[in-house]
C-alpha cells in the first residue's frame, strides 16, 4: 500500500512560517495595514474615536512594557518563569477591549494583555510567576478567570459558564482563549461540540502564534484553524492578530452575536510569538531568525503609532507621555515584585476545602510543630 | 413518611428532593434525560424539571465535567452522572486538575459544589470497563471528597447532602446493590455525610468495608456468629476524608482489623487504613491489619469475577488469619 499523501490536498497549511504573502490572504480580516493605513472590510467595520485610538495605543505600549519588565525580572532571578506575550499585544488588547463589562474571560497563562483590560493588577499576575500564589486577582470581581495551565481545559469552563448565562437569561457572553496547539486537545473539541449543541454564548479566541512551544502549526492542523469551525457548525473567522482594530471589530461582532443568541464563533487571530514560549525556552533551536525579521515588519504597535501620527490623532507629546507612564508602570512592577513577601508556610493548607477537614488540620498542626522545633521557629 | 425503597429508587427520590430544594441543581450526563439513565436513577426527572435542569449531554465525559466547572463558577450545582466507573477516565483530567484544585487556586473565591455520581464495582456480569472500583484515584487527590453508599437510607440522604455540600464530591453508588431494599424514613434527620458508622457490634475482629462490600461483610459476620465468633462491622461511608475515630475505638477493643474492598489490593484504601490503624492502635493490635481486595490484575472477564471479587469466604479467611496470628 502506498503511503503517499499525494491525493490529500493541503490547504494553506502554515502561512506563518514563510508568509510574506500574509496581507494578501483573502480570508484575513485586516483594518489597519502593517504600514498603518486604514483598510475597509466588507463585513467588519469599526468606528473608533480619536480617544479610543489613543487608549488602544496606550494599552499596547503598557502591556509590552510590563512584559519586557517581567522578562527582565525573571532573568534577574525574581520570577521563577515568565510567559511572554511579546508580539501578541494587539490580539489580546483587541479581544479584551471588545468585551463588555458583564462578559467573562477564560484565559490561558499568557493573557496578560487581556488581564490588563479587565483591570487586573499586573502584580497579581506577577505573583503567580514568582511562585507566591496561583494568581492573586479576584476572578469573580474582574470577570477574568484564573490562568489555566493545562492546555485547553478552560474552553470547557467557558462553555459551561455560558450555559449558565443562558439559564440565567443574562445578556452576556464568555470569551475562551486558546492557542494553536490547544486546538489538538480533545477537551477543546468537546467544548466546541457542546457550544454548538447548546448554542452557548461563547466565543473561542484562538491566538495562532504559529508554534506550540517548538512544534509548528502544520503538526496540529492540515487546514487553516478558522476553517475547523465549519465542521462544528458555527462561523470561523481569521483576523490579523497584529491589527488591534480588526481584532476589536471581529471580537465585538462575535460577542454581540453570542449575546444575541446566535451561538458561538471561532476566531483565529493570526499572529506570532516574538519571544520564547517561556523564559525557559530557546526558540533558536526550532525557528529561523529570518522568520522573526519578517514578523517584525508586522509589529502590532508600530502600525498604530504610524496611523496616529499620520492622521494627527496623536503627536510626540502624547507618545512621550505614554512612554513616561510605561516607565512608571515598569518601576512599580519592579519594586512591587522585589518587595513581594513570601507566603507563610501554612498557606498551602488554606482553602483546600470550603472548611478544613480534621485530617488536614492535624497535618497542618504537625507541620507547624515541626517548623517550630527548629531554633528561631523556622528554617 | 416511611417507604420501602431500593437504593436506585432512593437515589431517584433524593435527586428529586434536591432539585426541588434548590433551583440551581442541574443534572448532567449521558442518557439521563429521556431514558432516565441506563440504571434509571434519573427516571422521570427530565419530564418534571425540564431539559435545562436534566441535561442529556453529548457523549464526552471530559465535556460533562468541564462544563460542570463552568456552571459551578456561575453559581450552579451540577450533578454529573458517569455512566459506568470505567468511563470516568476521559474526565479524569478535569476532575483532578480543575474540579479538585479550583477552590484552592482561587483561594476560596470559586467554590466547586459538583457531585460526580459513579455507579461502581463489579458483580453484574458486564464487559470490560463496567465493573471497576476507581475510588483510590480520587481519594488520593486533595480537594476532592469521596463517599460510597451501601444502603437505601444513606443513598437517599447522602445524595442530598453531597449536593448541598460546598466541595466537590465523588459519589460512589454500589451498582450491583441498586435493587437492594430497605425502609427509608424520608422525614428523619440524617446523620452527617462524612462519618463512618458501626453497622454491627462485635468483640473479636473489626471488619471495615464500604459500598457493595458492606453487605458482604455483614454476611460474613452473620456466618461467623454461627460459629461463635463476634465480628464488628464498620461501614466507612466516607473515603475522603476518612473518619477513622470509630475504627480506632473498635480496634482498641478487638485488637484485630480486616479491611475489605473490591479495588485492587496494592495502594488501595486498605493500605492507607492499615497504615493509620497501625500508627494509632499499635499497642492494641494482636495481629497485623489484613486486607481483602481484588487482585492486582485488570478486572477480569465476567466468568472470572466471582473468583476476583472478595466474598463471604475470603472475608472469613482473613478473619481466621487475624484471629490465629
Confirm whether A183 is domain-assigned.
yes
Residue A375, classified by CB atoms within 10 Å of its CB into exposed (0-12), middle (13-18) or buried (19+), is: exposed
Mean pLDDT, all residues of chain A: 93
Task: Pick the residue of B70, B73, B112, B273 with the most A CBs within 10 A to test the interface with A by mutation.
Answer: B70
Is A235 in the same domain as A151? yes
Confirm whether A81 is domain-assigned.
yes
* From B71, B108, B109, residue closest to A160, measured CB to CB: B71
Confirm whether A10 is domain-assigned.
no
Name the band, by pLDDT with cuts 50, 70 and 90, for residue A18.
very low
- Three cell numbers at B178? 441498586
Q: Is A307 a catalytic residue?
A: no
Is A333 in the same domain as A364? no
The pLDDT value recorded for residue A377 is 52
Is A320 in the same domain as A351? no
* From B66, B110, B167, residue closest to A139, measured CB to CB: B110
Host domain of residue A146: 22-338
Question: pLDDT per residue over A298-312, tens digit each?
Answer: 999 999 999 999 999
Rg (CA), chain A: 22
- Three cell numbers at B200? 454491627
> Which residues of chain B lie closer than 8 angstroms to A204, CB-CB?
none
Q: Which residues of chain B have pLDDT under 70?
A: none
The pLDDT value recorded for residue A2 is 41
Is A349 in the same domain as A291? no
Tell me the average pLDDT across A84-112. 98
Is A358 in the same domain as A332? no
What CATH number does residue A64 fall under?
3.40.50.970
The pLDDT value recorded for residue A27 is 84
Cβ-defined contact of A167 to B76 (cutoff 8 Å): yes
Confirm whether A78 is domain-assigned.
yes
Residue A12 pLDDT greater than 80, yes or no? no
In 3D space, the residue among B134, B67, B66, B73 whose CA is nearest the CA of residue B105 turns out to be B73
Is A315 in the same domain as A351? no
Cβ-defined contact of B74 to A157 (cutoff 8 Å): no
> Which residues of chain A lie closer than 8 angstroms to B111, CB-CB?
354
Contacts of B101 (CB under 8 A, 6+ apart): B143
Task: Pick the residue of B28, B67, B162 with the most A CBs within 10 A to test the interface with A by mutation.
Answer: B67
Is A330 in the same domain as A352? no
Residues in chain B: 325
Residue A1 pLDDT greater than 80, yes or no? no
Question: pLDDT per residue over A40-60, tens digit each?
Answer: 999 999 999 999 999 999 999
Catalytic residue among A273, A298, A303, A307: A273
Give the integer Cα–Cα distance in Å for A378 and B245. 32
Is A269 in the same domain as A358? no
Confirm whether A75 is domain-assigned.
yes
Residue B238, min C-alpha distance to chain A (Å): 12
Burial B270-279 (b: 16+ CB within 10 A, else e): bbbbbebbee
- Three cell numbers at A359? 485530617
Is A327 in the same domain as A358? no
Give the integer Cα–Cα distance in Å for A189 and B63. 9
> Which residues of chain A lie closer than 8 angstroms to B192, CB-CB?
none
- The yes/no answer to whether this complex scores an ipTM above 0.90 is yes
Catalytic residue among B103, B129, B130, B283: B130
In 3D space, the residue among B73, B84, B67, B70 whose CA is nearest the CA of residue B31 turns out to be B84
Is A166 in the same domain as A63? yes
Residue A15 pLDDT greater than 60, yes or no? no
The pLDDT value recorded for residue A8 is 37
Q: Is A44 a catalytic residue?
A: no
Structural domains of chain B, with CATH: 2-185 (3.40.50.970), 197-323 (3.40.50.920)
Cβ-defined contact of B58 to A153 (cutoff 8 Å): no
Name the band, by pLDDT with cuts 50, 70 and 90, for residue A22.
very low
The pLDDT value recorded for residue A26 is 63
Tell me the average pLDDT across A233-237. 97
Is A29 in the same domain as A124? yes
Number of domains in chain A: 2
Q: Is B130 a catalytic residue?
A: yes
In 3D space, the residue among B12, A120, A29 whose CA is nearest the CA of residue B3 turns out to be B12
Is A359 in the same domain as A301? no
Give the integer Cα–Cα distance in Å for A348 and A298. 44
Residue B79, min C-alpha distance to chain A (Å): 13
- Three cell numbers at A43? 463585513
Residue B169, min C-alpha distance to chain A (Å): 11
Tell me the average pLDDT across A192-208. 98
Amino acid at each position: 500500500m502506498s503511503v503517499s499523501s499525494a491525493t490529500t490536498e493541503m490547504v494553506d497549511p502554515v502561512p506563518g512560517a514563510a508568509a510574506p504573502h500574509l496581507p494578501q490572504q483573502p480570508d484575513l480580516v485586516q483594518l489597519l495595514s502593517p504600514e498603518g493605513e486604514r483598510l475597509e472590510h466588507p463585513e467588519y467595520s469599526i468606528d473608533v474615536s480619536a480617544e479610543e485610538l489613543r487608549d488602544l495605543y496606550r494599552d499596547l505600549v503598557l502591556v509590552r512594557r510590563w512584559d519586557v519588565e517581567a522578562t527582565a525580572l525573571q532573568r534577574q532571578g525574581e520570577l521563577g518563569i515568565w510567559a511572554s506575550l511579546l508580539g501578541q499585544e494587539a490580539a489580546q488588547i483587541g479581544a479584551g477591549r471588545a468585551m463588555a463589562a458583564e462578559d467573562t474571560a477564560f484565559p490561558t497563562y499568557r493573557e496578560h494583555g487581556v488581564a490588563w483590560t479587565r483591570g487586573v493588577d499586573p502584580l497579581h499576575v506577577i505573583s503567580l510567576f514568582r511562585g507566591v500564589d496561583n494568581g492573586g486577582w479576584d476572578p469573580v470581581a474582574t470577570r477574568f478567570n484564573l490562568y489555566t495551565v493545562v492546555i485547553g481545559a478552560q474552553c470547557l469552563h467557558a462553555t459551561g459558564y455560558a450555559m449558565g448565562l443562558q439559564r440565567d437569561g443574562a445578556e452576556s457572553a464568555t470569551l475562551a482563549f486558546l492557542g494553536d496547539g490547544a486546538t489538538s486537545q480533545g477537551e477543546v473539541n468537546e467544548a466546541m461540540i457542546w457550544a454548538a449543541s447548546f448554542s452557548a454564548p461563547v466565543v473561542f479566541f484562538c491566538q495562532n502564534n504559529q508554534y506550540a512551544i517548538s512544534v509548528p502549526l502544520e503538526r496540529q492542523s492540515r487546514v487553516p484553524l478558522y476553517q475547523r469551525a465549519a465542521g462544528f457548525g458555527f462561523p470561523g473567522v481569521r483576523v490579523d492578530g497584529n491589527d488591534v482594530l480588526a481584532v476589536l471589530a471581529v471580537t465585538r461582532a462575535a460577542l454581540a452575536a453570542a449575546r444575541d443568541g446566535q451561538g458561538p464563533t471561532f476566531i483565529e487571530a493570526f499572529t506570532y510569538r516574538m519571544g520564547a514560549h517561556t523564559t525557559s525556552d530557546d526558540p533558536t533551536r526550532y525557528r529561523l531568525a529570518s522568520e522573526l525579521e519578517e514578523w517584525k515588519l508586522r509589529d502590532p504597535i508600530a502600525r498604530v503609532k504610524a496611523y496616529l501620527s499620520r492622521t494627527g490623532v496623536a503627536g510626540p507629546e502624547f507618545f512621550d507621555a505614554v512612554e513616561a507612564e510605561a516607565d512608571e508602570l515598569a518601576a512599580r512592577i519592579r519594586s512591587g515584585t522585589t518587595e513581594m513577601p513570601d507566603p507563610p508556610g501554612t498557606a498551602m493548607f488554606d482553602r483546600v476545602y470550603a472548611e478544613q477537614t480534621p485530617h488536614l488540620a492535624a497535618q497542618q498542626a504537625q507541620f507547624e510543630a515541626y517548623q517550630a522545633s527548629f531554633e528561631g521557629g523556622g528554617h | 413518611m416511611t417507604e420501602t425503597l431500593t437504593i436506585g429508587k432512593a437515589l431517584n427520590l433524593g435527586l428529586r428532593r434536591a432539585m426541588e430544594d434548590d433551583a440551581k441543581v442541574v443534572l448532567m450526563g449521558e442518557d439521563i434525560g429521556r431514558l432516565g439513565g441506563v440504571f434509571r436513577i434519573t427516571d422521570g426527572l427530565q419530564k418534571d424539571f425540564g431539559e435545562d435542569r436534566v441535561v442529556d449531554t453529548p457523549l464526552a465525559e471530559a465535556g460533562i465535567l468541564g462544563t460542570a466547572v463552568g456552571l459551578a463558577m456561575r453559581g450552579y450545582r451540577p450533578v454529573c452522572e458517569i455512566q459506568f466507573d470505567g468511563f470516568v477516565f476521559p474526565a479524569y483530567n478535569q476532575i483532578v486538575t480543575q474540579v479538585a484544585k479550583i477552590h484552592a487556586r482561587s483561594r476560596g473565591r470559586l467554590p466547586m459544589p459538583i457531585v460526580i455520581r459513579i455507579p461502581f464495582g463489579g458483580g453484574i456480569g458486564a464487559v470490560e470497563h463496567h465493573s471497576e472500583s476507581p475510588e483510590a484515584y480520587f481519594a488520593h487527590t486533595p480537594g476532592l471528597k469521596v463517599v460510597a453508599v451501601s444502603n437505601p437510607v444513606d443513598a437517599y440522604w447522602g445524595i442530598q447532602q453531597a449536593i448541598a455540600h460546598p466541595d466537590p464530591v465523588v459519589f460512589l453508588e454500589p451498582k450491583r446493590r441498586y435493587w437492594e431494599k430497605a425502609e427509608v424514613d424520608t422525614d428523619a434527620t440524617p446523620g452527617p455525610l462524612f462519618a463512618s458508622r458501626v453497622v454491627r457490634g462485635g468483640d473479636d475482629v473489626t471488619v471495615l468495608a464500604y459500598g457493595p462490600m458492606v453487605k458482604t461483610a455483614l454476611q460474613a459476620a452473620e456466618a461467623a456468629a454461627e460459629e461463635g465468633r463476634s465480628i464488628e462491622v464498620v461501614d466507612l461511608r466516607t473515603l475522603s476524608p476518612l473518619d477513622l475515630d470509630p475504627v480506632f475505638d473498635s480496634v482498641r477493643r478487638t485488637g484485630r482489623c480486616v479491611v475489605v474492598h473490591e479495588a485492587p489490593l496494592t495502594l488501595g484504601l486498605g493500605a492507607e487504613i492499615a497504615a493509620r490503624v497501625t500508627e494509632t492502635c499499635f499497642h492494641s493490635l494482636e495481629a497485623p491489619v489484613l486486607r481483602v481486595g481484588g487482585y492486582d490484575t485488570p478486572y477480569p472477564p465476567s466468568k472470572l469475577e466471582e473468583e476476583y471479587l472478595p466474598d463471604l469466604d475470603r472475608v472469613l479467611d482473613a478473619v481466621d488469619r487475624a484471629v490465629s496470628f
